[in-house]
């Protein structure tokens, strides 16, 4: 039964495999610390996007458990715990992402294109 309930979650995560085709715009000219920081930032944008997606699914799964198991106090507590940890995960991910971008801009390690929150546009994922 565990495999059957895990299948929908795996199908929801399947589109993340498309990130394998993302061009990170990595340079090979050995451009020093500035290019290294930009390369790390490009990879970090994709990692943060995937981790936030997983955290949102954890929150949704917790809400689902909380609502469906209305009669079982133990299952409701488990759902509440998942919701809490999912929210904490999203908060920590955006906090770390923001701190890294503050450090990059403070030490002038970014190029002319300032980093913004990674997003998925109607035309597909566009790395920033």
Q: Which residues, other chains included, contact 51 with Cβ-Cβ below 8 Å and sequence gap of 6+?
A: 89, 93
How is 83-97 classified by DSSP, letter by letter?
A: HHHHHHHHHHHHHHH
Tens-place pLDDT, residues 50-94? 888 899 999 999 999 999 988 888 989 999 999 999 999 999 988
Quick check: 106 and 64 in contact, CB under 8 A? no
Give me the chain's average pLDDT, please. 74
pTM of the model: 0.56
C-alpha to C-alpha distance for 31 and 1, rounded to whole angstroms: 53
């Amino acid at each position: 039964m565990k495999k059957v309930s895990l299948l929908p979650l795996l199908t929801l995560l399947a589109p993340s495999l498309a990130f394998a085709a993302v061009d990170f715009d990595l340079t090979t000219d050995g451009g020093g610390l500035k290019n290294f920081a930009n390369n790390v930032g490009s990879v970090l944008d994709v990692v943060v996007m995937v981790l936030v997606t997983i955290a949102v699914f954890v929150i949704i799964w917790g809400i689902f458990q909380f609502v469906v198991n209305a009669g079982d106090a133990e299952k409701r507590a488990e759902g509440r715990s998942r919701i809490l940890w999912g929210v904490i995960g999203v908060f920590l991910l955006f906090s770390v992402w923001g701190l890294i971008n503050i450090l990059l801009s403070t030490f002038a390690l970014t190029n002319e294109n300032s980093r913004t929150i990674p997003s998925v546009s109607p035309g597909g994922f566009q790395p920033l």
